[in-house]
Amino acid sequence: MPTSEIIIEIIYLVASALFVLSLKWMATPATARRGLFAGEIGMILAVAGTLLHHGILSYTWILVGLVLGAVIGVPLGNVAMTAVPQRTALSHAFGALCVTLVGAAHYYTERAELTTFGMSVLCAEVILGSLTFTGSLMAAGKLQEVLPQRPITFKGQNFVNLAMLAAAVVIAVMLVINPNNSILFPFIIAISLIFGVMLIIPIGGADMPTVISLLNSYAGLSAAAMGFVLDNKLLIIAGALDGSSGLILSVIMSKAMNRSFTNVLFGAFGQVQAKAAGATDERTVRSASPEEAASILGAASKVIIVPGYGMAVAQAQHKVREMYDILTRRGVDVKFGIHPVAGRMPGHMNVLLAEADIPYDKLMDLDQSNPEFPQTDVALIIGANDVTNPAARTDESSPIYGMPILDVDKARTVMVIKRSMSPGFAGIDNPLYYLDRTLMLFGDAKGFVGDIVKELAGGHH
């Protein structure tokens, strides 16, 4: 092996190790920054190692690609936190497009040298790459609301989809038997591109984050397949890491929403918006002002704050931190109850609270929080809704029945900051708001928490 190749292999080995460490470190907030850094260094090494490749004759087009990629990538990196799921979907789309193009180029230039194994893997690569490309674009469009969020279904849909996938696989087998039958190759790509669209249209906007995680897994698998075709170990390792971690994350998210995988993919969730309208309107709720809320919080000895999507949109985390500081200084025991699917992406709340420098050890997950609510004076819900809905425990007809929720209704007083009586993500009413012990604090999360802070700071100690 020439020295330059040994150097490349060593660089790839170090990059692979960094990717593994990166995933490990990102698993807890305390080491997450280090994990990101390790991933970035790994990626720089991977690119640098590839640029050393002896097969490169001219760097002109590579440079054009690097500049183009940077021009697209920099603004993508600056989107708001709530838009990260669709941003991630776009990244998968680009990755999958790249995998498909590399696979196609490899087929047309080198099909004479491909072994049966090589040709089979190349077919898997372009099928997965093409369907992930259009599927991810669809998912991003649904989340950004440029495409309709509602599931689109028709009779025999699953049959049509399966038939398309089967057709792509049959063509792949024909190509493996005779790789020179190149007229067939564009059909594999075309069918898979359409399949990607068909796969996503019956899935409602509500399930998109889970689907994106699954598409992430497909993108990883297609990259691993590309690694076999190009004989590149780094791609195989990175693709396998991506494929498996994406799958594990989708499973975790499905569990937290109490949905099976097949239900997410074929269930057309979000189609019927269950609504008990008549009954709802007659029930009354009690509301309170920032002054009242502040005096109840100030008099409490134990408070659990439950943040949700509304805290994220309002960017209220820094005000929440101020409120936490004042209450803690007054001797109130303040902790945070974090539901695994609060917000719109896994870890959403942890990231926001970390940004506001709330100590990690004050964050409790679902299992730690629930036993504490019965001993809690105030459960303060900030822009969360579905993750606190007691109907998940009691109402068998509810679409979220069986979903594990934070048992905030067991606290002595429940206070809910939100702007109106509008439902949350699942589109369903929340019986919590009509309980005697519940006080509704109507307003924008940032504004309302800010007013509570003013009251607490200005009020007598």
Q: Which residues are catalytic?
A: 386
Which region, judged by CB under 6 A, interacts with ligand NAP, from 68-76, 214-222, 382-390, 408-416?
382-390
CB 4, min distance to ligand NAP, A:
44
CB 418, min distance to ligand NAP, A:
4
Nearer Cβ to ligand NAP, position 130 or 217?
A: 217
Q: Binding string, 315-334, against ligand NAP, x = CB under 6 A?
A: --------------------
CB 358, min distance to ligand NAP, A:
17
**φ, ψ for residue 303, nearest 5 deg:** -125, 135
Binding of residue 151 to ligand NAP (CB under 6 A) = no
Binding of residue 25 to ligand NAP (CB under 6 A) = no
Among 193, 313, 351, 364, binds ligand NAP (CB under 6 A): 313
Binding of residue 386 to ligand NAP (CB under 6 A) = yes
CB 19, min distance to ligand NAP, A:
23
Binding of residue 419 to ligand NAP (CB under 6 A) = yes
Name the residue number minimizing CB distance to ligand NAP.
424
Among 87, 142, 335, 344, binds ligand NAP (CB under 6 A): 344
**One-letter-per-residue 3-state SS of the chain:** CCHHHHHHHHHHHHHHHHHHHHHHHCCCHHHHHHHHHHHHHHHHHHHHHHHCCCCCCCCHHHHHHHHHHHHHHHHHHCCCHHHHHHHHHHHHHHHHHHHHHHHHHHHHHHHHHCCHHHHHHHHHHHHHHHHHHHHHHHHHHHHCCCCCCCCCCCCCHHHHHHHHHHHHHHHHHHHHHCCCCHHHHHHHHHHHHHHHHHHHCCCCHHHHHHHHHHHHHHHHHHHHHHHHHHCCHHHHHHHHHHHHHHHHHHHHHHHHCCCCHHHHHHCCCCCCCCCCHHHHHHCCCCECCHHHHHHHHHHCCEEEEEECHHHHHHCCHHHHHHHHHHHHHCCCEEEEECCCCCCCCCCHHHHHHHHCCCCHHHEECHHHHHHHHHHCCEEEEECCCHHHCCHHHHCCCCCCCCCCCCCHHHCCEEEEEECCCCCCCCCCCCHHHHCCCEEEEECCHHHHHHHHHHHHHHCCC
Binding of residue 425 to ligand NAP (CB under 6 A) = yes
Among 102, 237, 332, 445, binds ligand NAP (CB under 6 A): 445
CB 395 within 8 A of CB 401: yes
Selection from 401, 426, 442 nearest residue 289 by Cα: 442
Binding of residue 143 to ligand NAP (CB under 6 A) = no
CB 235, min distance to ligand NAP, A:
28
Site for ligand NAP in 34-93 (CB under 6 A): none
Binding of residue 384 to ligand NAP (CB under 6 A) = yes
Say how many residues touch ligand NAP, by CB under 6 A: 33
Binding of residue 118 to ligand NAP (CB under 6 A) = no
Binding of residue 309 to ligand NAP (CB under 6 A) = yes
CB 273, min distance to ligand NAP, A:
13
Binding of residue 198 to ligand NAP (CB under 6 A) = no
Binding of residue 270 to ligand NAP (CB under 6 A) = no
Binding of residue 426 to ligand NAP (CB under 6 A) = yes
CB 399, min distance to ligand NAP, A:
10
Please, is 167 exposed, middle or buried when counting C-beta atoms within 10 Å of its C-beta (0-12, 13-18, 19+)?
A: middle
CB 268, min distance to ligand NAP, A:
15
Among 314, 379, 411, 416, binds ligand NAP (CB under 6 A): 314
Binding of residue 172 to ligand NAP (CB under 6 A) = no
Residues that bind ligand NAP (CB under 6 A): 206, 209-210, 253, 257, 308-310, 313-314, 341-346, 348, 383-387, 417-420, 422-426, 444-445
